[in-house]
């Protein structure tokens, strides 16, 4: 299985960036995983939301052709950690496509991106910053792979 995590723009919070790097290193000990940082709309304010979303969507879409696309969205399908683990297991068994997770920027994801998704997933009913959502997703990937591989994971 190959996992790809896509998001626009670099993580600016150094503490969260270190957590991302830590989880990515652990994940790659079990399965191939890459983080792809796509184009971020810079220098625009929220009043230009449509333009920001368009720019960021174009950067993300370049990586959609070969993947099973899972978009993170607060109104997506909620899953427990066990259900998420089953998603990873099923993806590993049933497809040679790359399992691609998409995290939006500070404005989220454009509707056209959500429509292209094979699955729209919610990490929580609560709202988190896009940078924290990145870490939470990586933690869940690591947790699931650890359990699939029979490794201990602290509860």
Q: Six-digit token pair at 68? A: 């099973």
From the list 86, 81, 100, the residue with the least C-alpha distance to 143 is 81
Query: pTM of the predicted model, to two decimals?
Result: 0.92
**What CATH number should be reported for the domain holding residue 105?**
3.40.1280.10
The total domain count for the chain is 1
* Domain presence at residue 155: no
pLDDT by residue for the chain (155 residues), tens only, comes to 899 999 999 999 999 999 999 999 999 999 999 999 999 998 888 899 999 999 999 999 999 987 899 999 999 999 999 999 999 998 877 767 789 999 999 899 999 999 999 999 999 988 889 999 999 999 999 999 999 999 987 66
pLDDT of residue 139: 97
Dihedral of CA 132/126/58/142: which sign? positive
- The residue segments making up the domain with residue 88 are 2-148
* Domain presence at residue 123: yes
Q: Where are the alpha helices (DSSP H) in the chain?
A: 14-28, 49-61, 81-94, 111-116, 130-148
* Domain presence at residue 139: yes
Total H helices, total E strands in the chain: 5, 5
* Domain presence at residue 154: no
């Amino acid at each position: 299985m190959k996992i790809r995590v896509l998001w626009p723009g670099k993580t600016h919070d150094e503490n969260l960036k270190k957590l991302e790097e830590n989880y990515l290193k652990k994940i790659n000990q079990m399965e191939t995983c890459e983080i792809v940082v796509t184009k971020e709309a810079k220098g625009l304010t929220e009043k230009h939301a449509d333009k920001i979303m368009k720019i960021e969507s174009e950067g993300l879409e370049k990586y959609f052709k070969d993947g099973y696309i899972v978009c993170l969205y607060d109104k997506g399908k909620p899953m427990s950690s066990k259900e998420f683990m089953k998603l990873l297991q099923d993806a590993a068994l049933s497809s040679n496509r790359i399992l691609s997770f998409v995290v939006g920027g500070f404005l989220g994801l454009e509707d056209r991106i959500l429509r292209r998704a094979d699955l729209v997933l919610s990490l929580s009913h609560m709202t988190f910053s896009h940078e924290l959502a990145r870490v939470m997703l990586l933690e869940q990937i690591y947790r699931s792979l650890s359990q699939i591989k029979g490794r201990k994971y602290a509860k």
